[in-house]
Chains A and B, each alone.
Chain A
Amino acid sequence: MKVLELINVNKIYNETEIQVHAVNNVALEFREAEFAAIVGPSGSGKTTLLNLIGGLDKPTSGEIRIDGTDLSKLKSSQLIDFRMRNIGFVFQAYNLIPVLTAKENIEFVMSLQKWSRKDRDARTFELLKAIGLSDRANSRPSKMSGGQQQRVAVARALASRPKFVLADEPTANLDSKSATTLLEIMEKLNHEEKITFIFSTHDARVVKMAHRVITLEDGRVISDDIRELPE
Chain B
Amino acid sequence: MIWKTAWKNVWRNRVRSLVVIVSVTIGIFAGVFSVAFMNGMIAQRVNSALNEEISHIQISGKNYRLNNDPEILITGPDKIVRQINEIPGISGMAERTIINGMAGTAAKSTGVQIIGIDPVMEKKIFTLDKTIMPGTGDYFEKESKYNLVLIGQDLAKELNIIRYSITSTVLESLGKKKIPGSMIEKLTPLSGIRFTNEKKFNKSINSILSRKEIKRYSYEIKNEAWSFREGSRLTLTFLDKDNNQIEAVFRLAGIYDVKNSMFEKSTVFVKDTDLKHLTGLNKDSFHQIILRINDIKQTEKITTELREKMPELDIMNWKEISPDLAMMTDYVHQIYAFFMLIILAALAFGIINTMLMVVLERTKELGMLTAIGMNKKKVFSMIMLESVFLSLLGGLTGMFAGWIVVVLTAKNGINFLRYAEGMEAFGYSAHIFPEISAEFFIIVTFLIILTGIVSSVYPALKALKLDPAEAIRTE
Chain A positions within 8 Å of B, measured between CB atoms, are 47, 51, 54, 56-57, 76-77, 80-81, 83-85, 88-89, 91-95, 97-100, 104, 107-109, 111-113, 156-157
Contacts and interface: CB of A to CB of B under 8 A. Distances in A.
Considering the complex of A and B, which 4 residue pairs feature the smallest CB-CB distances, nearest first? A84-B373, A99-B8, A111-B1, A56-B469
User: Which residue, of A81, A91, A109, A156, has the highest number of chain B Cβ atoms within 10 A?
Assistant: A91
Given A56-B468, A98-B12, A104 B376 contact: no
A81 B364 CA distance: 20
A108 B1 contact: yes
Interface in B423-475: 468-469, 472-474
B378 A112 contact: yes
A94 B468 CA distance: 13
Contacts of A77: 375-376
B372 A84 contact: yes
Nearest to B369: A97
Contacts of A99: 5, 8-9, 11-12
B374 A80 contact: yes
A193 B473 CA distance: 29
Contact of A83 (B1, B373, B473, B474): B373
B472 A81 contact: no
A111 B374 CA distance: 10
A94 B364 contact: yes
Interface string B367-410: 01111111110100000000000000000000000000000000
B365 interface: yes
Contact of B469 (A51, A76, A95, A109): A51
Contacts of A56: 371, 468-469, 472
Given A91-B371, A108-B5, A156-B372, 14 more contacts: A47-B473, A80-B370, A80-B374, A80-B375, A80-B376, A83-B373, A89-B372, A92-B474, A94-B368, A97-B5, A98-B12, A98-B365, A99-B8, A108-B1
Contacts of A156: 372
Contacts of A100: 4-5, 8
Contact of B4 (A51, A83, A104): A104
Per DSSP, are chain B's interface residues mostly helix, strand or loop, or mixed? helix
Interface of B: 1, 4-5, 8-9, 11-12, 364-365, 368-376, 378, 468-469, 472-474
A183 B365 CA distance: 24
Nearest to B7: A99
A104 B1 contact: yes
16 contacts: A51-B469, A54-B371, A56-B472, A57-B469, A80-B375, A81-B375, A83-B373, A84-B372, A84-B375, A94-B472, A98-B12, A98-B365, A107-B1, A109-B373, A111-B1, A157-B372
Contacts of B376: 76-77, 80
Given A81-B373, A83-B373, A112 B1 contact: yes
B373 A91 contact: no
Contacts of A88: 372
A219 B378 CA distance: 35
Nearest to A120: B1
A180 B376 CA distance: 36
Contacts of A83: 371-373
Contacts of A157: 372
Nearest to B378: A112
Contacts of B374: 80, 84, 112
A77 B375 CA distance: 7
Contacts of B369: 97
B473 to A, nearest CB: 8
A91 B1 contact: no
Given A54-B371, A80-B376, A94 B12 contact: no
A109 B5 CA distance: 13
A91 B469 contact: no
A113 B375 CA distance: 11
Contacts of A80: 370, 373-376
Contacts of A94: 364-365, 368, 472, 474
A92 B367 CA distance: 13
A99 to B, nearest CB: 4
A188 to B, nearest CB: 22
A112 B381 CA distance: 13
A40 B473 CA distance: 18
Contacts of B371: 54, 56, 83, 89, 91
Contacts of B370: 80
B303 to A, nearest CB: 60
Given A77-B375, A97-B369, A111-B1, A91 B9 contact: no
B185 to A, nearest CB: 66
A76 B465 CA distance: 12
A167 to B, nearest CB: 12
A72 B307 CA distance: 78
A93 B363 CA distance: 13
A187 to B, nearest CB: 22
Contacts of B378: 112
Contact of B373 (A51, A104, A107, A112): A112
User: Which residue, of B11, B374, B375, has the highest number of chain A Cβ atoms within 10 A?
Assistant: B375
A144 B474 CA distance: 21
Contacts of B373: 80-81, 83-85, 109, 112-113
